[in-house]
Amino acid sequence: MKQIVNNNKFDTSILNRFNGEKTKQEKDSQKRRWAKFTYCGKETRFFTKLFKNTNVKVAYMTKNNLGKLLKPQNIPKPDKYEKNGVYQLECLTCHKIHTGQTSHPFRVKYHEHYDFKYSNNRSTFTQHVINEGHSFGPMNKIMSVIHFERKGKMLDTLEKFYIYRETKNRNQINDRLTVQSNLIFKTIVRHSPQRGQHI
């Protein structure tokens, strides 16, 4: 039959299909079958032994490789304006400072100062800007986060300290009548870093 098929210029591999034989191409395709397994220890080796007497070859892979370990992680930085504590607002014109505290996010407090055109209870800072005709800038230009702290006595004390410090530097917009002499504050200011650095 092969001779007849060959004499008629047909591919004799057609007969192999009838005889249950597999062509070289089909045998090669079977040899190329691979299965990937994420390696996680002896359990993986035990499981992959089941394929030992089959046409499937096993390749181990891992997610914990050097390429992924050394790849820079794009972890978003926490937004400091979403926290609360002590803040300072700097006048862009005269560079004087208003110190305040908030138990709400700093972003919310900034907008309370910013809405000075429509607010009946204007803060000392916004009143200063209006009276002096000075500039009011964007949050990232005029607002500094000085200290993160939750609402309570500690927050009150920190606010008083930073107001005291700016008063002694003659650089504050806050009401001077609220500043009282404090021996502890005086000692800290004498030995503390310059303004802009946290205590």
The contacts of residue 57 (CB under 8 Å, 6+ apart) are 33, 34, 35, 51
Task: Quick: pLDDT tens for 75-114.
Answer: 777 889 999 999 999 999 999 999 999 999 999 999 888 7
Which pLDDT score is estimated for 193? 59
Average pLDDT over residues 53-73: 71
Burial 6-45 (b: 16+ CB within 10 A, else e): eeeeeeeeeeeeeeeeeeeeeeeeeeeeeeeeeeeeeeee
What is the reported pTM?
0.56
Task: Kindly list the domain boundaries of the chain, sorted by start residue.
Answer: 1-31, 33-63, 80-191
- CA dihedral in degrees (158, 162, 164, 169; nearest 10)? 160
Structure tokens at 122: 């204007």
Residue 134, phi then psi, degrees to nearest 5: -90, 175
Strand partners, 157: none
Structure tokens at 194: 């310059």
Burial 119-138 (b: 16+ CB within 10 A, else e): eeebbbbbebbeeeeeebbe
pLDDT at 16 over 80: no
Mean pLDDT of all residues belonging to the chain? 76
Structure tokens at 104: 């709400």
CATH superfamily of 80-191: GIY-YIG endonuclease (3.40.1440.10)
Strand partners, 87: 100, 145
Number of other CB atoms surrounding residue 98 within 10 Å? 24
> Which helix (H) or strand (E) segment is 29 a member of?
helix 24-31
Task: Quick: pLDDT tens for 28-62.
Answer: 555 667 777 676 677 677 767 777 777 777 777 77
Task: Specify the 3-state DSSP secondary structure of 144.
Answer: strand
Task: Quick: pLDDT tens for 132-174.
Answer: 889 888 999 999 999 998 888 999 988 988 888 888 888 888 7
